[in-house]
């Protein structure tokens, strides 16, 4: 029941009015008492209204506080999950760090053992190229120098260094299976002469003057070309075959020890 209904002053004034009418109390006193009761009732109604307003205000504040508490509880749960997950992440990262340390130690051991081997392989390859057929020597030396530069670079990893050495080896190995023709310049009696060169793997290197009249073969031991008294026609045909303009077996090319042929009228020609 509403406080204002319970504090209604009308029923309270009735007994006093009745008493005043029957003469039990003076009318003036009854009037004063009724006024006091009315004021008391009015104050009670005002207090009750203020209380009701306070209760309603507190109810709204309580709902806000409950919502804040719920959000704080959810946030605490999330923080607890993050803490537990961070612990799991930390354990996983520690295991990965240990594995990386072991791998780094293994790589260091491989570096210590493999890097000197790569240097030795490249040293032997440079010596081999220097003694090999004078075919594309400038390009081959340039690639060797580039590989050496990678091996001497501290910041270059083991894998790029190994790949560079293996690729250089592969290129040199492919040269042994190559049949090719190109124009070049060789020295004859100290004079440059333009010729066409025929490279047949590592079996031999042959030269034919541009007019096709004089043929030469490379002597690996003496590091020079020696003149052929005959065989120019066969070399010319072999060049046509290598260029795809003629089909002919290469078995007729002069191979073997060229030094023995100089006694038959051949002469030495220095090659560049």
Taking the C-alpha atoms of residue 169 and residue 122, their distance in angstroms, rounded to an integer, is: 9
Convert the chain into a string of H (helix), E (strand) and C (coil).
Answer: CCHHHHCCHHHHHHHHHHHHHHCCCCHHHHHHHHHHHHHHHHHHHHHHHHHHHHHHHHHHHHHHHHHHHHHHHHHHHHHHHHHHHHHHHHHHHHHHHHHHHHHHHHHHHHHHHHHHHHHHHHHHHHHHHHHCCCCCHHHHHHHHHHHHHHHCCCCCCHHHHHHHHHHHHHHHHHHCCCEEEEEEEEEECCEEEEEEEEEECCCEEEEEECCCCCEEEEECCCCEEEEECCCHHHHHHHHHHHCCCCCCCCCCCCCCCHHHHHHHCCCEEECC
What Cα–Cα distance (Å) separates residue 168 from each residue in 121, 161, 176?
Answer: 10, 11, 13
Instruction: Write down the pLDDT at residue 24.
Output: 47
Taking the C-alpha atoms of residue 151 and residue 242, their distance in angstroms, rounded to an integer, is: 37
What is the tens place of the pLDDT at every residue in 37-62?
777 877 878 787 888 887 877 887 88
Range with lowest mean pLDDT among 21-35, 45-59, 136-150, 238-252: 21-35
Instruction: Write down the pLDDT at residue 221.
Output: 84
Whether the per-residue pLDDT at 140 is higher than 80: the answer is: yes
Taking the C-alpha atoms of residue 220 and residue 189, their distance in angstroms, rounded to an integer, is: 18
Whether the per-residue pLDDT at 18 is higher than 70: the answer is: no
- Quick one: average pLDDT of 227-245? 84
Instruction: Write down the pLDDT at residue 32.
Output: 67
Angle at 253 between CA 256 and CA 228, to 5 degrees: 75
Taking the C-alpha atoms of residue 233 and residue 237, their distance in angstroms, rounded to an integer, is: 6
In which band, very low, low, confident or very high, does the pLDDT at 35 lie, cut at 50, 70 and 90? Answer: confident
Instruction: Write down the pLDDT at residue 104.
Output: 82
**CB 199, CB 179: distance < 8 Å:** yes
Closest CA to 49 of 111, 99, 18, 6: 6
Q: Higher pLDDT residue, 18 or 126?
A: 126
**CB 207, CB 195: distance < 8 Å:** yes
Q: Where are the domains of the chain?
A: 112-175, 179-270
Q: Higher pLDDT residue, 40 or 1?
A: 40
In which band, very low, low, confident or very high, does the pLDDT at 15 lie, cut at 50, 70 and 90? Answer: low
Q: What percentage of the chain has pLDDT greater than the value 90?
A: 24
- Quick one: average pLDDT of 150-162? 91
This prediction has a pTM of 0.53
Taking the alpha carbons of 64, 67, 71, 76 in that order, is the dihedral positive or negative? Answer: positive
Whether the per-residue pLDDT at 259 is higher than 50: the answer is: no
Range with lowest mean pLDDT among 23-32, 122-131, 235-244: 23-32
In which band, very low, low, confident or very high, does the pLDDT at 254 lie, cut at 50, 70 and 90? Answer: low
Instruction: Write down the pLDDT at residue 29.
Output: 57
The listed range with the strongest mean pLDDT (6-10, 23-27, 219-223) is 219-223
Q: What percentage of the chain has pLDDT greater than the value 70?
A: 77
The strand pairing partners of 208, in sequence order, are 196, 215
Mean of the per-residue pLDDT values of the chain: 79
What Cα–Cα distance (Å) separates residue 138 from each residue in 56, 169, 221?
Answer: 98, 16, 20
Whether the per-residue pLDDT at 263 is higher than 50: the answer is: no
Whether the per-residue pLDDT at 3 is higher than 50: the answer is: no
């Amino acid at each position: 029941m509403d406080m204002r209904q319970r504090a209604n002053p009308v029923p309270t004034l009735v007994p006093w009015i009745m008493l005043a009418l029957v003469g039990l109390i003076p009318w003036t006193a009854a009037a004063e008492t009724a006024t006091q009761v009315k004021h008391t009732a009015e104050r009670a109604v005002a207090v009750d209204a203020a209380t009701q307003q306070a209760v309603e205000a507190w109810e709204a504040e309580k709902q806000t506080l409950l919502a804040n508490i719920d959000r704080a509880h959810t946030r605490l749960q999330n923080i607890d999950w993050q803490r537990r997950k961070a612990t799991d992440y930390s354990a996983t990262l520690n295991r990965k760090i240990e594995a990386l340390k072991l791998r780094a130690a293994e790589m260091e051991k491989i570096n210590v053992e493999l890097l000197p081997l790569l240097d030795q392989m490249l040293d032997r390859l440079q010596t081999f190229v220097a003694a090999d057929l004078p075919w594309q020597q400038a390009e081959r030396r340039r690639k060797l120098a580039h590989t050496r530069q990678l091996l001497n670079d501290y910041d270059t990893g083991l894998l790029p260094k190994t790949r560079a050495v293996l690729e250089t080896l592969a290129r040199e190995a492919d040269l042994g299976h190559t049949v090719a023709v190109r124009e070049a310049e060789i020295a004859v009696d100290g004079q440059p002469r333009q010729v066409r060169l025929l490279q047949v793997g590592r079996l031999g290197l042959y030269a034919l003057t541009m007019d096709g009249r004089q043929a030469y073969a490379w002597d690996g031991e003496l590091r020079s070309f020696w003149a052929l008294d005959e065989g120019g026609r066969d070399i010319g045909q072999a060049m046509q075959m290598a260029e795809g303009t003629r089909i002919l077996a290469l078995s007729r090319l002069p191979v073997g020890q060229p030094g023995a042929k100089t006694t038959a009228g051949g002469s030495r020609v220095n090659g560049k």
